[in-house]
Chains A and B, each alone.
Chain A
Amino acid sequence: RKEVEQDPGPFNVPEGATVAFNCTYSNSASQSFFWYRQDCRKEPKLLMSVYSSGNEDGRFTAQLNRASQYISLLIRDSKLSDSATYLCVVNRGNTPLVFGKGTRLSVIA
């Protein structure tokens, strides 16, 4: 089992829709969690951290469920510009980050 698993998609949604991605992680010692965004043929960039109590940044909401070992990303009121690949990232402590393979989102006009 891969340490970080994501549904690769693609998720094709109309503008204005709400879409959610889940990510599961296998190592219960994982300490911190993040979502990165990667546009086509570009480098990944940090979208947001995921806090235990859940956190929101504009249209984006991240949740962590330690008991079930998954994190989620909810995007409300999808925009065309949200089309990208979303990478789930896990930190086990003093080791390099572990990246999921990503979930591809296409927002359609």
Chain B
Amino acid sequence: GEDVEQSLFLSVREGDSSVINCTYTDSSSTYLYWYKQEPGAGLQLLTYIFSNMDMKQDQRLTVLLNKKDKHLSLRIADTQTGDSAIYFCAERDYGGSQGNLIFGKGTKLSVKP
């Protein structure tokens, strides 16, 4: 079945850039997403990218998509302590139940002052 893989941890210093990587297996995915989860909270959609795009930029966030390698990345510029959270990569599963999301295990981003 479909699978989404992420590294589990990333630690950066405040002000540096963070890059969170994700690989997925379903080549038919049309939308790929990045969600942020703060401790004890639900998920917040950060951004998404359509599969015919290579890059999408939204303020401090840059998403890069390499469809050939099925690799997705999220770059956070000028990382702040408030960016500390778990970041989930997700792909939309149209082969499953009505387009549900398949999530990676999440990357815990720790930002050191």
The answer on A and B forming one complex is no
Which residues of B approach A to under 8 Å, CB–CB? none
The interface of chain A, by Cβ under 8 A from chain B, is none
